[in-house]
C-alpha cells in the first residue's frame, strides 16, 4: 500500500470521527403510542435544507413517500436517487472513496453489512442507537433480523427498514383446474409444476416462475429457499463454509430439476419478469417477497385478484421444520461522507419508526416487508394483508440469514456464478456446489 493511500485512509477516518461527533450532538426526539411516529418539536426545523437518499429502484415508491412525509414534518427536502439493486454497493463505495460525498443516507442490502462496515461506507451508529433507544425501540425489531442486518465487528451500521423474505404464492384457479393442493415439500412442488406445465404450456401457462437472474440477490435467493427447506446453512457456527453438506447439494438438485417446468428461461427471469408473469396468470407458482400479496390484490396491476393463496416455502429431505430464508432485506445508514449527519440520522429514525413502517406496509408497490414485531403483528397489517401476515407470523423470527462478513460480496458472486451454470446445464449440481465450497474456503481463509 502506498503512503498516499495510507494518508487518504487516515484522513478519511478522522473525518468520519468528526462527523460522528456531530451526529452524536443531535437533538432528542419523542415517540408515543402503540405505533409511534418520531415527532419533532420544531415542525420546520430543517426548512431550507436538503438530503440525498441513495436507494434501490424497487424502493422508489417507498422513498418518495418517506421524502414527502419527512418534508411535511420537518421542512427538509429529500432527493430520492435510485440505482439498480445490483449496483448500489459499488455506487455507495465509489461515492465515499472518491471523496465525492454526494449522499447522506444509503439504502444497503444487509448481506453487505460487513463490507459496508469494514470500508466505513456508513457511520458506526452504535452510540446513537443507545442514546435514542427510547425512540428507536431496538427490542421491537424481529430478533432474526436485527443483528444480521446491522452488526459487524461489534458495531451497528444502520437501522433495518425492509425485512425481506420469500414465501410461496400460487394461483388457486390454476390449481383447482388440476385438482392440486399447495405443495409442502420440494418434491411435491416439482410434481405440481410439472403437471401444470405439461398440461398448459401450449397456452403459455407454466408451472412455476423461477427467479434465476444472475445477480446474487436473485438467483441466490432462489437457492436459499431450497437450502433452508432442506435444513442447510450457508456457514457453520464457526464461520466456515457449510456448503459441503448433503442439504446444500440437494438444494442445488432441486433447483436444476425445476428448469424444464419453469417459465422460460430462469436465467433471464428476475423479479421484473417473474412478478408480471404471476400477476397475469402465466405462472402458477412463484417464490417471492411477501409484498407480492399486496400487488396481487390490486386490480390495477393484477389479473388474479382473489385467485391466489400463499404458504410457507416447502421442506425437503429429512428436514421437517419449514424455515424462511432472509432474502434481500435493507437497512438505512448514514453515509460516512455526509456533511449533515444529524439530519441524516433524524431521517433514518423517522423512516424506520413503527408508524412509517406500517404506512409503507399498507402502500401498494412500496416493496417493504415487516422488520418490526409491532408492524408484523399490527391490526392494520393483519387487516390489509391477512394471508401474508398469517404466513409470516412466527416464521420471520427464525429466518436463515446470508453471510454478512466483509467477504460476503465475493461469496455471493461465487455462488451466483456456479448456480447460473447449473441452470444453463454447464455444471452438475454436485460439481457446482463442490466448486463453490472450494471457492468459499479460499475466500474465507484469505
Whole-angstrom distance, CA of residue 21 vs CA of residue 295: 43
Whether residues 84 and 227 share a domain: the answer is: no
Q: Which of 121, 165, 218 minimizes the C-alpha distance to 419?
A: 218
Quick one: 194 and 152 in the same domain?
no
d(CA 132, CA 195): 55
Smallest Cα–Cα separation from 122: which of 145, 151, 163?
Answer: 151
Report, as an integer, the average pLDDT of 384-398: 94
Q: Using the predicted structure, report yes or no on whether residue 265 has a pLDDT greater than 50.
A: yes
The reported pLDDT for the residue numbered 39 is: 61
Fill in the DSSP letter of residue 283: B
Same domain flag for 141 and 207: no
Reported as a single tens digit per residue, the pLDDT across 17-61 is 333 333 333 322 222 334 555 666 566 789 999 999 999 999 999
Query: Are residues 337 and 285 part of one domain?
Result: no
C-alpha span between 60 and 81 (Å, rounded): 8
d(CA 347, CA 246): 45
Task: State phi, psi for 45 to the nearest 5 degrees.
Answer: -65, -25
Q: Same domain for 159 and 177?
A: no
Residue bearing the bigger pLDDT, 247 or 396:
247
What is the pLDDT, as a whole number, of residue 358? 96
pLDDT at 33: 37
Lowest-pLDDT range, 29-38, 210-219, 412-421? 29-38
Residue 88 has pLDDT above 90, yes or no: yes
337 and 317 in one domain?
no
Domain identity same for 389 and 432? no
- Claim to verify: residue 224 and residue 289 sit in the same structural domain: yes
Residues of the domain holding 414: 166-325+407-444
What is the total residue count of the chain?
446
Same domain, residue pair 197 and 319: yes
pTM of the model: 0.89
Share of the chain above pLDDT 90, in %: 87
**207 and 87 within one domain:** no
DSSP 81: E
* C-alpha distances out from residue 310 to 79, 167, 391, Å: 36, 7, 7
Whole-angstrom distance, CA of residue 291 vs CA of residue 370: 9
Number of domains present in the structure of the chain = 2
Measured torsion, CA atoms of residues 346, 349, 350, 355, in degrees rounded to the nearest 10: -160
Amino acid at each position: 500500500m502506498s503512503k498516499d493511500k495510507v494518508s487518504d485512509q487516515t484522513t478519511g477516518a478522522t473525518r468520519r470521527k468528526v462527523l460522528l461527533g456531530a451526529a452524536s450532538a443531535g437533538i432528542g426526539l419523542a415517540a408515543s403510542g402503540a405505533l409511534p411516529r418520531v415527532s419533532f418539536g420544531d415542525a420546520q426545523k430543517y426548512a431550507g435544507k436538503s438530503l440525498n437518499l441513495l436507494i434501490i429502484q424497487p424502493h422508489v415508491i417507498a422513498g418518495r413517500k418517506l421524502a414527502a412525509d419527512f418534508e411535511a414534518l420537518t421542512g427538509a427536502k429529500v432527493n430520492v436517487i435510485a440505482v439498480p439493486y445490483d449496483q448500489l454497493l459499488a455506487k455507495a463505495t465509489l461515492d465515499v472513496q472518491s471523496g465525492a460525498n454526494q449522499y447522506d443516507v444509503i439504502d444497503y442490502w444487509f448481506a453487505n453489512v460487513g463490507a459496508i462496515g469494514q470500508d466505513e461506507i456508513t457511520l458506526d451508529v452504535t452510540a446513537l442507537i443507545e442514546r435514542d433507544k427510547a425512540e428507536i425501540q431496538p427490542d421491537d425489531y424481529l430478533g432474526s433480523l436485527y443483528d444480521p442486518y446491522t452488526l459487524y465487528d461489534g458495531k451497528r451500521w444502520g437501522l433495518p427498514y425492509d425485512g425481506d423474505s420469500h414465501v410461496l404464492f400460487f394461483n388457486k384457479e390454476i390449481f383447482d383446474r388440476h385438482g392440486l393442493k399447495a405443495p409442502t415439500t420440494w418434491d411435491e412442488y416439482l410434481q405440481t409444476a410439472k403437471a401444470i406445465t405439461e398440461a398448459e404450456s401450449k397456452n403459455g401457462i407454466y408451472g412455476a416462475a423461477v427467479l434465476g437472474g444472475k445477480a446474487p440477490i436473485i438467483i441466490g435467493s432462489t437457492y436459499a429457499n431450497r437450502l433452508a427447506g432442506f435444513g442447510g446453512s450457508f456457514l457453520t457456527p464457526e464461520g466456515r463454509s457449510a456448503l459441503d453438506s448433503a442439504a446444500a447439494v440437494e438444494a442445488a438438485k432441486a433447483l436444476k430439476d425445476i428448469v424444464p417446468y419453469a417459465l422460460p428461461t430462469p436465467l433471464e427471469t428476475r423479479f421484473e419478469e417473474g412478478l408480471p408473469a404471476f400477476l397475469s396468470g402465466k405462472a402458477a407458482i412463484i417464490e417471492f417477497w411477501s409484498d407480492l400479496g399486496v400487488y396481487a390484490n390490486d386490480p390495477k396491476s393484477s389479473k388474479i385478484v382473489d385467485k391466489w393463496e400463499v404458504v410457507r416455502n416447502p421442506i425437503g429431505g429429512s428436514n421437517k421444520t419449514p424455515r424462511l430464508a432472509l432474502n434481500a432485506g435493507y437497512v438505512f445508514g448514514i453515509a460516512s461522507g455526509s456533511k449533515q449527519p444529524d439530519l441524516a440520522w433524524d431521517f433514518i429514525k423517522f423512516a424506520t419508526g413503527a408508524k412509517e413502517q406500517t404506512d409503507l406496509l399498507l402502500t401498494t408497490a412500496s416493496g417493504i416487508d415487516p422488520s418490526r414485531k409491532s408492524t408484523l403483528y399490527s391490526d392494520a397489517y393483519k387487516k390489509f394483508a391477512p394471508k401474508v401476515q398469517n404466513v409470516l407470523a412466527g416464521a420471520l423470527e427464525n429466518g436463515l440469514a446470508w453471510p454478512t462478513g466483509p467477504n460476503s460480496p465475493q461469496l455471493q458472486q461465487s455462488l451466483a456464478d456456479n448456480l447460473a451454470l447449473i441452470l444453463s446445464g454447464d455444471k452438475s449440481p454436485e460439481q457446482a456446489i463442490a466448486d463453490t465450497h472450494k471457492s468459499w474456503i479460499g475466500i474465507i481463509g484469505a
